């Protein structure tokens, strides 16, 4: 005979509605009650019919993910698999699946998001980026569809749930560290200038220079994609200047790996000839040559908390929107050292 919710409720000595809430992982149900109900389900061999439940609740039990660009390029950067690991760890607890918007162009990705929303294929969406003018973010706001952003929104901040680091402060601290080593000619290898993370880190870099009365120089700023090739192209341009930088602040470890390999090819030693500070503290940063000084932005936590915020929005739509700042820390390794006096001239 088929076991029902009523059977589980009777066995656990709770109301059938409580069993339904436990199945939905409602945060208002205590962990003690959840354990008791789940033990009853296991002992009775009860398995929720998620398809029927989804139809009844108009729930898909799925979350949509939106990447900043084509997946073939995006997944070259280890940041994205790690942030998705954080997201999937959380949504797995709620027995949700992940559904990814794909496309080779921004327009194709936008069309994929529209299909997600109009077809009710997902209960909510996580944007894995934030940029200046984003038609996807505008569309989700217009549709009043649940979504959260990894990154600080450029506009409509009060209307959007988001998870981010203090990128302004992190870039300022890393730049000040390079300045403390005696560097005055500090280049910046940034990502897409339309991304808010790039804007915030550039502002932090500028603030550090200004605080130490170092003139800002446009020729030391290069923007490339967050890929190894982007770092390679940037460093060739910067080291070709008549007064090349003695230190570089690189916006992403993958770009920094490209910088390191190109400098090695050029016969320029790190950190003896130039110091490198970077962001993300990827696992490979510790094993690069030399090991890379980097800002640990807690990528996994960014994903985990983004999923947490979105699940709360889905389950309790009236709750206030969350704006969460994930802490960061500077990890000092061997890619930076004090500047030689001759290099400052």
191-232 per-position pLDDT tens digit = 889 999 999 999 999 999 999 999 999 999 998 776 677 778
Pick 227 or 126 by higher pLDDT: 126
| Between residues 203 and 18, the one the model is more confident about | 203
Per-residue model confidence (pLDDT) at position 51 = 44
Cα–Cα distance for residue pair 229/189, rounded to 1 Å: 12
Q: What pLDDT was estimated at residue 166? A: 98
**CA atoms of 333 and 330, how far apart (whole Å):** 10
- pLDDT value of position 56: 47
What pTM did the predictor assign? 0.81
CA distance 315 to 182: 53
- What pLDDT band is residue 49 in, cutting at 50, 70 and 90? low
Crossing angle (nearest 10°) for helices 196-211 and 167-180: 40
Predicted confidence at residue 343, as pLDDT, reads: 58
pLDDT at 70: 73
d(CA 21, CA 24): 5
Could you tell me if residue 159 is left (phi over 0), alpha (psi between -120 and 50 degrees) or otherwise beta?
A: alpha
DSSP assignment, residue 131?
A: B
- pLDDT at position 302 is 98
Is residue 24 scored above 90 in pLDDT? no
Q: What average pLDDT is seen over the chain?
A: 89
Q: Label residue 52 by pLDDT band (50, 70, 90).
A: very low
For residues 148-156, average pLDDT: 94
Q: What average pLDDT does this structure show over 265-273?
A: 95
pLDDT for the residue numbered 1: 58
Nearest Cα residue to 189 out of 217, 240, 231, 245: 231
Residue identified by tokens 């932090």 is: 204
What domains can you pick out in the chain, each with its CATH number?
A: 9-38 (no CATH), 62-165+305-327 (3.40.50.2300), 167-297+330-344 (3.40.50.2300)
3-state SS of 281-340?
A: CCHHHHHCCCCCEEEECCHHHHHHHHHHHHHHHHHCCCCCCCEEECCCEEECCCCCCCCC
> Can you give the pLDDT at residue 240?
92
Distance CA 231, CA 242 (A): 20
Give the pLDDT of residue 226.
67
For 169, the token pair is: 């402060």
Given a cut of 90, is residue 185 above it in pLDDT? Answer: yes
Q: What is each CA distance from 218 to 185, 264, 300, 310, in whole angstroms?
A: 12, 25, 34, 39
Structure tokens at 69: 């660009």
Look at residue 58 in the predicted model and tell me its pLDDT: 65
Identify the residue with better confidence: 16 or 341.
16
- DSSP strands (E only) in 122-220: 124-127, 147-150, 161-164, 186-190
């Amino acid at each position: 005979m088929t076991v029902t919710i009523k059977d589980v409720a009777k066995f656990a000595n709770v109301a059938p509605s409580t069993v339904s809430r436990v199945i939905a992982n409602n945060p208002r149900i205590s962990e003690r009650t959840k354990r008791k109900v789940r033990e009853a389900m296991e002992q009775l061999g009860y398995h929720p019919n998620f398809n029927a439940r989804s139809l009844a609740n108009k729930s898909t039990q799925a979350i949509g993910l939106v990447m900043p660009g084509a997946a073939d390029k995006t997944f070259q950067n280890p940041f994205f698999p790690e942030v998705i690991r954080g997201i999937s760890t959380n949504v797995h607890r709620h027995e949700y699946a992940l559904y990814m918007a794909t496309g080779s162009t921004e327009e194709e990705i936008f069309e994929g998001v529209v299909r997600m929303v109009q077809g009710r294929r997902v209960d909510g969406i996580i944007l894995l980026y934030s940029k200046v003018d984003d038609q996807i973010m505008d569309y989700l706001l217009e549709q009043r569809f649940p979504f959260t952003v990894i990154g600080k929104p450029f506009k409509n901040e009060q209307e959007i749930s988001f998870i981010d680091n203090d990128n302004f402060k992190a870039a300022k601290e890393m730049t000040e560290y390079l300045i403390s080593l005696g560097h005055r000619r500090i280049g910046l290898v940034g990502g897409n200038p339309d991304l808010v993370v790039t804007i915030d880190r550039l502002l932090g870099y500028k603030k550090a220079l200004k605080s130490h009365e170092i003139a800002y120089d446009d020729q030391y700023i290069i923007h490339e994609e967050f890929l190894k090739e982007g770092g390679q192209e940037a460093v060739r341009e910067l080291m070709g200047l008549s007064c090349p930088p003695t230190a570089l602040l690189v916006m992403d470890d993958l770009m920094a790996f490209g910088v390191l390999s190109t400098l090695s090819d050029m016969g320029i030693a790190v950190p003896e000839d130039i110091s490198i500070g970077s962001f993300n503290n990827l696992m490979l940063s510790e094993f690069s040559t030399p090991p890379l000084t980097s800002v640990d932005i807690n990528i996994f936590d960014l994903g985990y908390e983004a999923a947490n915020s979105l699940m709360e929005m889905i389950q309790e739509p009236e709750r206030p929107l969350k704006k969460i700042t994930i802490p960061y820390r500077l990890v000092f390794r061997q890619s930076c050292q004090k500047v030689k006096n001759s290099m400052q001239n």
